[in-house]
Structure 1
């Protein structure tokens, strides 16, 4: 083959390889979000006496990091992480103490428009919450230490470029715990929070 054709062939091959490499995206996406937690705060009458829904867990805004892995352009798994968060508790409007919770959540998502600038998605999965540092009713009250429940998710990514994106996300978690006083169960608290988050994503 003449030298100039060989050079042209090599250049064309390198250009094609460069185009393919540019088109391929890493399967990893990391996001950092600010998330507002809004608990449902549903509970039965304490000890079967009096009105329901007397236990109130505080709202708060927390930092959150999630890591997503894309099995295909449309299907991804997302692990949602934070550090133990402290909530105050009121019973009948009066301060009753506090507790911490750590709620790692794993969802499986479907992304509807992965090649578009705006990519909406839906997700469903499981939430495991570990409750610790419970200080209720001057030590007389306690909470069940573990909660496992369903997690539902909806959101979208707005792509700024090939790597960076802005994310909006809403999750509903099933988080429930038994409330004990002096070792006896007095009611079940359905925290069941809605989490609304806004953040940035980076595709490696």
Structure 2
């Protein structure tokens, strides 16, 4: 019995020593990380089945808490660069994009080091520097900018009361009209998953 009581007391003391990463109204979070964007599927167009590969880029998030546990977050990044493939022809293009995303988020109250959160928002994807490659070398390639829904979930692991390591994932609805040589070939659904790891600081 004494042994059990000692173990229980040790566990309570250990849990009490874990820093909390609570958020109050007026708090500001800054996150610096790396994001991997993975397109969810290929799309059949007028010229065949089109797909894009995954890409890695540094990310930055800023979040302001408008109420306890409730924040508005903006995701930004350096450009992501993708190879565009056409079934049976290999790489036919290359494109860069920026995916700024604004989300309303709820951070669950938790006394442990882990603080999970969920969010929903809107994404704007800006495509640029499109280039034809391989069979389309020298042919113009154009992707329209996109607006879409974004879903977000993740968790912060507190290092201290002012900092944490964050792991999170987003699903973004990205659909763009594609033109090759000035002729529209159809809509391409990218619908990527975005996986991110970041160091988060509270101010």
TM more than 0.5: yes
Aligned equivalent of 2:75, options 75, 80, 91:
80
Q: 1:24 to 1:58 in 2, by over 3 A?
A: closer
Unaligned runs of 5+ in 2: 1-22
How far apart in 2 are the matches of 1:68 and 1:141? 39
Matches within 5 A, 1:164-179: 164-179=163-178
How high is the TM-score relative to the length of structure 1?
A: 0.80
Aligned to 2:161: 162
How far apart in 1 are the matches of 2:102 and 2:127? 18
Aligned equivalent of 2:91, options 61, 78, 95:
95
Aligned to 1:18: none
Aligned to 1:38: 38
Q: Is the 8 A contact 2:25 2:69 kept in 1?
A: no
Deviation at 1:30, TM superposition (A): 0.5
Deviation at 1:184, TM superposition (A): 1.8
Q: Which moved more, 1:158-167 or 1:180-189?
A: 180-189
How far apart in 1 are the matches of 2:152 and 2:40? 16
Q: 1:24 to 1:177 in 2, by over 3 A?
A: closer
Q: 1:138 to 1:24 in 2, by over 3 A?
A: closer
Aligned to 1:152: 151
Q: 1:185 to 1:120 in 2, by over 3 A?
A: same
Aligned equivalent of 1:105, options 101, 107, 113:
101
Q: Is the 8 A contact 1:28 1:203 kept in 2?
A: yes
How high is the TM-score relative to the length of structure 2?
A: 0.80
Instruction: Determine if the alignment matches structure 1 residue 135 to structure 2 residue 116.
Output: no
Q: 1:57 to 1:117 in 2, by over 3 A?
A: same
Unaligned runs of 5+ in 1: 1-22
State the Cα deviation string for residues 83-133 of structure 1 (Å, max 9, x = none): 222211111151112011011111000111165421111100000011111
Q: Larger C-alpha radius of gyration, 1 or 2?
A: 1
Q: 1:141 to 1:114 in 2, by over 3 A?
A: farther
How far apart in 1 are the matches of 2:111 and 2:65? 13
Q: Which moved more, 1:23-32 or 1:119-128?
A: 23-32
